[in-house]
Amino acid sequence: MSAGILQATHLRPSASHLALPFFDEAHRRIAAELPDWTNAQRVDETDDRAACRDWVKRLGQGGWLGYCVPGEFGGALPELDSRALVMLRETLAFYSPLADFAFAMQGLGSGAISLGGSEATRRAYLPEVAAGRKIAAFALSEPEAGSDVAAMKLRATGARPDCVAGQKEDYYFLDGQKTWISNGGIADFYCVFAKTDPDGGSRGISAFVVDRGSEGLDDSAHIPVMAPHPLATLTFTRCRVSAEQMLGELNAGFKIAMQTLDIFRASVAAAALGFARRALAEAIDHAKKRKMFGQTLADFQLTQAKLGEMAALIDAGALLTYRAAWMRDTQQGDQRERSVAAAMAKMTATENAQRVIDMALQMHGGLGVMVGSKVESLYRDIRSLRIYEGATEVQQLIIGKAALQEMRK
């Protein structure tokens, strides 16, 4: 069984933020119903790959994956809604990081199909994602192209050497590698980004849906990490993909990738909030029970001061996160302003969560570093959130450049 969930039966995430004007009834309903549902699940998380498959199935059966796809393709809402994603990820992360991971990857892995897929492609994949019958993956990063997406080397070459440059072909051959791919090795399909114009930079990238088991695709190279979840390197060797599997127009893949990340970036911040809220709840629970020098740890002013700092750090990240999701959903400001808001949320929430979890671990003393304790696992879980979907330093650059442009006006 999941130790994380079993330890949480008496703990619940705070609901004070639900009264904020960023949310409507659909979001409040998620926040009201999801904690009880999640806490009732009993998932064996000993094997992270098996656990993720189990979580996808359960989340699909529970109707929660419907928030990952648009309504006409089995979704719970008419369009992808960042605030719903935030509500879901914050709550799931509070109870189980693997549940959060499983949910997030269904959305991120299918987001490019929602945005750029043909009608036939959307109908073939999205209802299966919403029902939890197909596991999705987003394949963008490469060994030498992480934050610098335009540097990718995976090539998609056409089958006809006499084809006019820039003309769409009947099918393509993919050659190269992707790495750090979440759900690698367990996904049923991958949204893969490849260079169709090697000299085109970011304007020479196209996106494809590649089914697992496709000839020339090897997804067996698993990558072990400090907070276990499915990761793999994908190797493509003359992997044939039909042009019908292309998402969007030829050489329009970079835009689709960035739009997908824009939708989900605030939800990464929300996952960090879930981790941080759980750390605070664990710290409060421990402080009330731990007896020291004739009183509880919670009676000491130093403990109260630390708990106050932790709460403020969480709220600072939360307000930026909810604002970013609200701006995206309601189209507040222009695209640059929405991207900056998402960058602020992602940077602040993940960095603050790291500090909150570290303080919670310190408050637990020796128990905090014991393998198997909740704060110990949270300490490992939070670290990757400061890197993936745009490292903190990348978010700082986005915010800093925007600030300079604003000062020049």
pLDDT, tens digit (0-9, with 9 covering 90-100), for 246-265: 999 999 999 999 999 988 99
Q: What are phi and psi of 224, to 5 degrees?
A: -75, 135
Sign (positive or negative) of CA dihedral 402, 404, 407, 409: negative
Query: Do 51 and 64 have their domain in common?
Result: yes
Residues 387, 374, single domain; the answer is: yes
| Judgement on whether residues 108 and 194 belong to the same structural domain of the protein | no
pLDDT at 10: 64
Q: Which residues of the chain have pLDDT under 50?
A: 1-6, 163-165
Cα 219 from Cα 247, distance rounded (Å): 21
Boundary (domain end) residue, out of 234, 251, 268: 251
Last residue of a domain, one of 251, 285, 300: 251
- Cβ neighbours of residue 338 closer than 8 Å, sequence gap 6 or more: 262, 324, 327, 328, 331, 332
Query: Residues 267, 401: one domain?
Result: yes
Task: Quote the pLDDT of residue 154.
Answer: 96
Tokens of 9: 């039966």
CATH number (domain holding residue 77) = 1.10.540.10
Same-domain check for residues 283 and 323: yes
DSSP conformation class of 203: G
Scanning the structure block, which residue is given the tokens 């979840």? 229
Q: How far is CA 114 from CA 13, 73, 118, 129, 292, in A?
A: 31, 9, 9, 11, 55
Asked whether the beta carbons of 140 and 195 are under 8 A apart, the reply is: no
Helix (H, G, I), strand (E, B) or coil at 73: helix
Q: Which residues contact 331 (CB under 8 A, 6 or more apart)?
A: 338
Which residues, 6 or more positions from 133, have their beta carbon under 8 angstroms from its beta carbon?
Answer: 60
287 lies in the same domain as 361: yes
* Active site amino acids: 389
Residue 381, number of CB atoms within 10 A of its CB:
28
Beta-carbon count within 10 A of 203 CB: 13
Whether residues 342 and 404 share a domain: the answer is yes
Residues 117 and 156 in one domain: no
Q: In terms of domains, do 310 and 329 share one?
A: yes
State the CATH number of the domain containing residue 297.
1.20.140.10
Whether residue 259 sits in one domain with residue 357: yes
Tell me how many degrees the CA angle 312-315-319 measures, rounded to the nearest 5. Answer: 145
Instruction: Indicate if 155 and 104 belong to the same structural domain.
Output: no
pLDDT digits (tens, 9 = 90+) for 369-407: 999 899 999 999 999 999 988 899 999 999 999 999 888
Domain stops at, among 251, 272, 290? 251
What CATH number is associated with residue 158? 2.40.110.10
Q: Give 321's strand partners.
A: none
pLDDT, position 2: 46
Go through 89-118 and write b for each residue having 16 or more CB atoms within 10 A of its CB, e for each that does not: bbbbbbbbbbbbbbbbbbbbbbbbbbbbbe
Tell me what pLDDT residue 161 has: 55
* Whether 114 and 142 share a structural domain: no
Query: Which of helix, strand or coil describes residue 142?
Result: strand
Q: Which residue segment(s) compose the domain that 230 sits in?
A: 136-251
Total structural domains in the chain?
Answer: 3
